[in-house]
A and B are shown apart, each in its own frame.
Chain A
C-alpha cells in the first residue's frame, strides 16, 4: 500500500537516536460497552511524554470512544486511565483540564455565540480569576489579568495562523480556520497532554500541511500529542509512535515503519489477504 510507503517518513522520525520520555498516559485493560456492544475491549497502551502518538484504525475502530474515555467525556466500563501517575478513570473533563489534559473535537465544538478571540480566552479559564464578586465589581487585578489573557490569546491565534480572525465572530469563520481555533483554545489552557481528534478532517491538502506544521511546532514546545487522524501521509510523517486499533482492540503498536509493515494493519485497512 503506497500511502504507508517508508519513503514518506521524515528522516528525524526514522532515526533511532530519539530518547523516549517517561510515561505520561497509561491505559490499562480499558473497556467500554454501549448496550452490550463492545466499543473498546481490554485495551492497554502507554504514551511517553514528549511524543506525537497517533491512534489509527478503520472507521468504527473505537478511536473517538477512546478519546472520550481518556478525557472523561465517557466513563469506562472497566479498566483504568492513569495520567501523570494518578488514576483519573472517569474523572470529569474540567478536573482533567486542571491536571493538564485538553482536547479538540472531530465534530467542531466552537462557542459560536462568541468572537474567535473570546473562544481562545475561554481556554485561559484555569489561569484567571473566575469568582463572582471580582467579576461583578470589576476588580483591577481581574481587569489586568484579563488584559494579559487577551494578549496571550492573540499570540496563540497568531501561532496557529489565525491572526486575521482576531476580531471575527466565530460564526463567520470558515471550517478550516475553526479547526485551528479549537487547537488555539486547547493550547490556551497550557496542557501537558493534548488530544487532537482528526484535526485535518475536511481540510484540503494545503490546509492539512499547515495543520501538520502547527502540530509539530506545538510538540516542539514539549506538549505531548495524541493524534487521531485518517490522513495517513500526515500520521506517517509526524508520529513518533502509532497504535493501531480495530474493532475496539489493539491491532499493532510501534514506530510508523513497524506499523506500516504490520500485516494485520494492512489486512484491517484493505481486507484480509486471500
Chain B
C-alpha cells in the first residue's frame, strides 16, 4: 500500500518537475506551441487510456468528442456571448449525455463491431460539423475568442503552457486515483473477464458506460480549451484521422499505463516535427517507426522500458 502510494506520488512529482523545468529548454514560442499541443493530446489520451488500456474497450470516435467540446466553446462564446467557463461546462455536459446515450447500445458490441460503431459516431460528428456551416463555419472552420475568466484573458503560449501543464497533472492524478480504487479494479476486471466480473457482483454494462462517458468528457474539456488556445478550429480536428492518431498514441505509449499514455501523446506529437527533415517521406518514416514499435514492443513504449529495470513499477 505504502509503496503504491509512493509510486503514484513519485510519478506525479516527476511529471510536475518535467513540466516545470521544460520551458527553460525551449528557445521560442514555436517549441512552446508544440509542447502545448502535446499536452492537449496527453489529456485526451489519459482519458482514452482508461477506456482502451484499462477497460479493454475501443473507441475510434474520440476526436468527435474533442470536436464537439471545441465547437461548443467556439459557438456558444462567439455567437451567443456565453462566458467561456460556462460554454466549456455546457460542452462537457452535452458530450457526457451524448456518450451516455450511445454507450448503452454500442458497448454491447465487442471487438471490430464496437470499433465500427464508434467510428460511425466520429464520422457523424465530423459530417455535422462540416455541413452545418451556418453554425460552425463549415469546412473552413471558425474563429474562437480568447478564454476569459474573472476578467483575465488567457493569451499567448507562455500562459497556455502553464494552463495545460496544470490540467495534465490534474488529469493524471484523477486517472491514477481511479485505477487504484474499487471502480478502477472493476474496469480492469471487465477487460480481464466479463463473466468473472459479473459473478462477483460487477455490473459490467454500467462500468463500461461510465468509463466511456468519462473519457469522452476528458476529450471534450481538452477540445474546449484547445479551441480557445488555437483561436481557430476546423472540422479536421474532429475527423477520423485524428481519432486514429489518438488511439495510436495510447497504444504506442503503452496500454493500461497512465504515464504511458502521456509519453505516447508527447512522442507522437513531436515525431512529425522531428521528421520534417525527411520532407516528402515523412509519412513513410512515421509509419515505419510505428510498425517497428508494434513489432518489437507490443506492450508499448513505457511498459517495455519499465520492464528493463528490475524494480517493479506501476504507472
Which residues of the other chain, B, contact A137 by a CB distance below 8 angstroms? 174, 177
Chain A proximity of B256: nearest CB distance (Å)? 7
Which residues of the other chain, A, contact B1 by a CB distance below 8 angstroms? 147, 150
Residue B178 CB within 8 A of the other chain: yes
Chain A proximity of B49: nearest CB distance (Å)? 13
Residue A16 CB within 8 A of the other chain: no
Interface of B is mostly: helix
Chain B proximity of A70: nearest CB distance (Å)? 11
In this complex, what residue of A is CB-closest to B175? A136
Which residues of the other chain, A, contact B184 by a CB distance below 8 angstroms? 135
Task: Give chain A interface residues in 132-149, CB to chain B under 8 Å.
Answer: 132, 134-138, 142, 146-147, 149
Known contacts A112-B192, A113-B191; is-contact A189 B201 (Cβ 8 Å) = yes
Interface bin, chain B: 20 to 34
Cα of A113 to Cα of B210 in the assembled complex, Å: 20
Residue B22 CB within 8 A of the other chain: no
Task: Give chain B interface residues in 148-181, CB to chain A under 8 Å.
Answer: 174, 177-178, 181
How many contacts A-B (CB < 8 Å)? Answer: 111
Which residues of the other chain, B, contact A134 by a CB distance below 8 angstroms? 181
Which residues of the other chain, B, contact A126 by a CB distance below 8 angstroms? 200-201
Cα of A79 to Cα of B193 in the assembled complex, Å: 29
In this complex, what residue of B is CB-closest to A128? B182
Interface bin, chain A: 35 or more
Are A97 and B199 in touch, CB under 8 angstroms? yes
Residue A114 CB within 8 A of the other chain: yes
CB within 8 A of B188: which of A109, A111, A131?
A111
Binding stretch for chain B, among A4-12, A115-123, A229-237: A115-123
Taking beta carbons and an 8 Å cutoff, which residues of B are in contact with A? 1, 56, 174, 177-178, 181-186, 188-189, 191-193, 195-204, 210, 214, 256
5 cross-chain CB contacts under 8 A: A94-B199, A94-B203, A102-B199, A125-B182, A188-B200
Taking beta carbons and an 8 Å cutoff, which residues of A are in contact with B? 71-73, 92-94, 96-98, 102-103, 105, 109-114, 118, 121-126, 128-132, 134-138, 142, 146-147, 149-150, 182, 185-186, 188-189
